[in-house]
Amino acid sequence: MFAFNHFNFNVLDLERSLKFYDEALGLCPVSEKKAEDGSFRLVFLGDGITGFRLELTWLADRTEPYDLGEQEYHLAFKTEDMEAAHRKHEEMGCICFENPKMGIYFIEDPDGYWIEIVPLRR
């Protein structure tokens, strides 16, 4: 038997990413691991509702943006208030793709990862 634990995004600027995920999605650090030699930091973010975590990995020697390929993957978050979420993300300037027909849209984080926003369907 398996259960989801976490998903990882590698980031260039950890503080910028932490600010983005807090502001855009309300994700807060729930645990952290630092290398003794300062070569990396792992910060796990949680939503305060589920046990799923997003791991942000920062590598001290990394200076080039990550190659994200063709972006044929993404995380998805659901929200009860699509209008308010869309308004907030529009104000942040992070909406990168919208599909009104499906009732969804995507935001892009500072490193280029796409995150789908979907309405909570009851």
Report the predicted TM-score, pTM, of the whole model to 2 decimal places.
0.91
The burial of 37, by beta-carbon neighbours within 10 Å (0-12 exposed, 13-18 middle, 19 or more buried), is given as exposed
Axis-axis angle for helices 82-92, 14-25 (nearest 10): 150
Instruction: Tell me the pLDDT tens digit for each residue of 40-59.
Output: 999 999 999 999 999 999 99
All domains in the chain, ordered by first residue: 6-61+73-119 (3.10.180.10)
What pLDDT score was predicted for residue 122?
55
User: In angstroms, rounded to a whole number, what is the distance separating the alpha carbons of residues 25 and 117?
Assistant: 10
Which residues of the chain, if any, have pLDDT below 70?
A: 122
* Cβ(110)–Cβ(18) below 8 Å: no
Active site residue ranges: 116
What pLDDT score was predicted for residue 26?
96
User: In angstroms, rounded to a whole number, what is the distance separating the alpha carbons of residues 122 and 106?
Assistant: 21
